[in-house]
Amino acid sequence: MRNNIAKGGNSMEMKILYLPRELIIQILLRLPVKSLIRFKCVCKSWFSLISDPHFAKTHFELTTAHTHRIVFITLTPQIRSIDLEASLNDDSASTSPKLNFLLPGSYFDLEIKGSCRGFIVLRCSSIIYLWNPSTGVHKQIPLPPFGSNLDANYFFGFGYDHSKDDYLVVSMCDDPNSSTFLSHFEFFSLRANTWKELECTASTHFPYMNACDDPRVGFLFNGAIYWMAYRRNISGNIIVGFDLMDRKFFDMQFPDDFDHEPTYCGLWVFEEFLSLWAMDYEYDTVEVWVMKEYKVNSSWEKTLVLSIDDIPTQYFSPLSSTKIGDIIGIDGVTGLLKYNDKGQLLEHRSYCNDLYRSEMALYSESLLSLPDGNEQV
């Protein structure tokens, strides 16, 4: 047989299929991140191509409908990443990313403070890390200068400024020991590699804790980071946003007939709209409110009411909606739930036996690196 092949005989002929480089690039750009990481081992040229920052950026931009994943970090310790488009009972949709760097404290000290473009912000003790769980790329940054006040309550956010190709970690805090009740605002620029103080307006904001008395993580949507807050000069609740491009704060209003305590509410995206969820313990329900027209207060609509009667924890915090309209959320401990768009509970699964709540974040897989080029793998 070998002779026939070598001589080009009739029985069998060896042919090598040639694909133009541009076609190979276009094929690779449409593959999932997990496959591309494996394909780095195919040859040197593929390793170089897939490692190129321009390839990573194009790949991220082409994947317009990013598949969302949720990362759990438990006290056991355990890290788990789950594909939210798959069934909650599909074990193949779950992976276990590894932290490839040492923490200065224990997992008891580890907190997730935001996510953007595949990167997750981790705070442990006096250090903040930016970590891409898909690639292992990470960078360490210090706490903000105001962090020497350990009694201050910190409210972080994380986002990306497209105009400057820069990632910003935003810190808003209130100092309970201050007689002036002033909030303090700073942001860390990855490009400048430094913290910068933001000027405070005359109106002081007090961001709300959640129902478990944990500082809220800023919610990223449409180029801005949002928190629910109390404003002293109007003695009322508002949604405060930070524009990542203008580096300025702005206010948005809750729906006119929204009468829920912000402690039992949250911000999320439902069907590509900025949305609110609100827990009503009197009726064991969660309401879903959608802002149909961005920044137009009159466009808020209550679109759905979900029953939480069948949830053992009697808690449901929506995180995301899938491509077919199902709603994914957490049960307040280590479990995920899935409702359909009619409000019917479809699935509920707990992912570990930890009695304590997990740190969680929604993210999309990416090959992206950080703009300053000083990250580690």
Are residues 60 and 78 part of one domain?
Answer: no
Are residues 188 and 143 part of one domain?
Answer: yes
Mean pLDDT in residue range 303-314 = 88
The 3-state DSSP class for residue 339 equals strand
CATH number for the domain spanning 133: value is: 2.120.10.80
Of the candidates 30, 32, 37, the residue with the CA atom closest to the CA atom of residue 137:
37
Are residues 112 and 52 part of one domain?
Answer: no
Confidence tier at 261 by pLDDT (50, 70, 90): confident
Least confident of 6-10, 138-142, 324-328: 6-10
Are residues 76 and 56 part of one domain?
Answer: no
C-alpha separations of 185 from 159, 196, 227, 279 in Å: 15, 9, 13, 29
Q: Tell whether 166 is covered by a domain.
A: yes
C-alpha separations of 199 from 26, 179, 241 in Å: 46, 19, 15
Q: Tell whether 346 is covered by a domain.
A: yes
Are residues 49 and 171 part of one domain?
Answer: no
Of the candidates 68, 70, 69, 74, the residue with the CA atom closest to the CA atom of residue 359:
74
Are residues 187 and 58 part of one domain?
Answer: no
pLDDT of residue 152: 59
Q: Tell whether 170 is covered by a domain.
A: yes
Q: Tell whether 181 is covered by a domain.
A: yes
Of the candidates 149, 155, 212, the residue with the CA atom closest to the CA atom of residue 176:
149
Q: Tell whether 7 is covered by a domain.
A: no
**pLDDT tens digit sequence for 74-101:** 776 778 899 999 999 999 888 888 887 7
Are residues 150 and 38 part of one domain?
Answer: no
Q: Tell whether 229 is covered by a domain.
A: yes
pLDDT of residue 180: 57
Are residues 133 and 58 part of one domain?
Answer: no
Domain end: 10, 29, 64, which one?
64
Nearest-10 crossing angle of helices 53-62, 44-51: 70
Are residues 46 and 131 part of one domain?
Answer: no
pLDDT of residue 64: 60
Range of the domain at 222: 65-364
Mean pLDDT in residue range 366-375 = 79
Per the structure, the count of domains in the chain is: 2
**What percentage of the chain has pLDDT greater than the value 90?**
45
The 3-state DSSP class for residue 360 equals strand
Domain end: 37, 64, 91, which one?
64
Mean pLDDT in residue range 151-167 = 86
- pLDDT over threshold 80, residue 183: no
Are residues 57 and 100 part of one domain?
Answer: no
The widest CA-to-CA distance across the chain, in whole angstroms, is 93
pLDDT of residue 213: 44
**pLDDT tens digit sequence for 101-143:** 777 666 667 889 999 999 999 988 778 899 999 999 999 998 8
Q: Tell whether 79 is covered by a domain.
A: yes
Q: Tell whether 137 is covered by a domain.
A: yes
pLDDT of residue 353: 66
Question: What sections of the chain are H helices per DSSP?
Answer: 2-7, 21-28, 33-39, 44-51, 53-62
pTM: 0.86
Are residues 146 and 185 part of one domain?
Answer: yes
Are residues 75 and 57 part of one domain?
Answer: no
